[in-house]
Amino acid sequence: MITRLRASLVAGVRGLALALTALIGSVLLFTLTLVSVSLIPIGIGIFITPPLLSLVRAQANRRRLLAAQWSGVRIPAAYRPGGPARGGLAGQVERCVRMMKDPATRRDMQWLFTDITAGATVALLAPALWLEGLFGLLLAAGLWKPIVEAGGTYWYTFLPVDSAGTAGLAAVLGLGWMVLATFVNPLLVRSHFRIAAASLTPSREDLEQRIDRLTATRHDAVDTSAAELRRIERDLHDGAQARLVAMGMNLSTIEALIEKDPAQAKKLIAAARTSSAEALTELRDLVRGIHPPVLAERGLGDAVRALALRLPVSCEVDVEMTGRVEAPVESAAYFAVSEALTNAVKHGGGDRIWVDITHTDGSLRIAVTDNGGGGASVGAGSGLSGVERRLGTFDGVLAVSSPAGGPTMVTMEIPCASS
């Protein structure tokens, strides 16, 4: 019974916190967002709507977290990837349109409305039952007298209180409210989260679209892995394996010549030493192509800086990350940057490259810019198509801006958390 009583009191405090959050935070966000959306036609809303929608999403995600922690209610989040960050008015318009078209935005707004109505009401019942019960006890303790003297008969719930006797009945009713709160308060808090889940959970159509996208990206990931395995096999067969076979043949010849023709044997030993060094270099390059040691040890920023040092053109790398993202995301981002840099060097024709890496708002954003002649595109046979497929496995997106005459900017974004 003590455990149930403690759980009821905790639920009352949580219900009060949820109600205040709804009646203050959700009301404010709902009002401001509606105003900002109405201002989109005159241009002002284009700039203020995306930040407000980001706050709404943060509020919804916070409620998802509390639902899981306090009541074990799981509310899925299905926001579309944000897309590459672009500057200027065009980028701001694109961001606003993208967020407004996201079905999750509609669900968030529906949730705000239910949160300030049904959600707040249900949450407020949890502390109200305890407070109402406590007030009934206070009436019986003598509070009824100044209240009646000041304003006549006082109605406690449905009971008129005008004397010590009726105040005693109010105390009994108050105890009833407390007993009821002991049993129903956790259910009220859970019901609050169920109401939120009804608005925030994606519809069947949204889930089907999500499944279709995951199926497509899974096939791309399998195809990419198979292609990587074939490349590794080809590189081993044509490179290091061929050199090791040639070195073995040279060693066999050396055995036969070491006594008959020492001078020729020394030449073959030198050739074998060169072949072993070249084979070792090719094996190191192959390992670096699979997963660079610097990426595993020092993270994405330093790995990209190491890439930049090996380029034949000047490359500046600017990294703004407070932690590290998951290893699969790091690997995908690294090879995507590597491909973009390779394309810039081979086809860009410029003499400078800039790489900007940031992690903000739960997304890893990368921009690779060169001052070449432009003309890059994502299409069949393009290296950037492979980058797009690689990023798609993680719900990432790629965009290319490459007008004739340059410059070329390849922007990538992958939704992910940073540790």
- For residue 202, the SS3 value is coil
Query: Does residue 368 register a pLDDT over 50?
Result: yes
Structure tokens at 371: 């001052």
* pLDDT value for 69: 86
Residue 73: phi, psi to the nearest 5?
-90, 120
| More confident: 91 or 229 | 91
What average pLDDT is seen over the chain?
80
CA diameter of the chain: 128
- Confidence band, pLDDT 50/70/90 cuts, at residue 381: low
3-state secondary structure 150-188: HHCCEEECCEEECCHHHHHHHHHHHHHHHHHHHHHHHHH
- Residue of 317, 399, 301 whose CA lies nearest to 353: 317
Whole-angstrom distance, CA of residue 55 vs CA of residue 71: 24
- What is the model's pTM? 0.54
High-pLDDT (> 90) share of the chain, %: 15
Measured between its terminal Cα atoms, the distance across the chain in Å is 42
Full DSSP string of 69-97: III-------PPP------HHHHHHHHHH
Contact in structure between 416 and 329 (CB atoms under 8 Å): yes
Q: Which is it for the CA torsion 60, 64, 66, 70, positive or negative?
A: positive
pLDDT in tens, 229-284: 666 666 566 666 666 676 677 677 776 667 677 777 677 777 777 777 666 766 66
High-pLDDT (> 70) share of the chain, %: 79
Judged by average pLDDT, the poorest of 67-76, 266-275, 295-304 is 266-275
* pLDDT value for 109: 92
- Rounded to an integer, the average pLDDT of 323-335 is 82
pLDDT in tens, 197-240: 988 888 766 666 666 666 665 655 555 555 656 666 665 666 66
Query: Within a 10 A sphere around the Cβ of 276, how many other Cβ atoms?
Result: 14
Rounded alpha-carbon distances, angstroms, from residue 313 to 162, 318, 344:
91, 16, 10
Whole-angstrom distance, CA of residue 48 vs CA of residue 384: 33
pLDDT in tens, 159-172: 888 888 888 888 88
Cis before 403 (ω within 30): no
| More confident: 93 or 230 | 93
| More confident: 253 or 337 | 337
Contact in structure between 308 and 345 (CB atoms under 8 Å): no
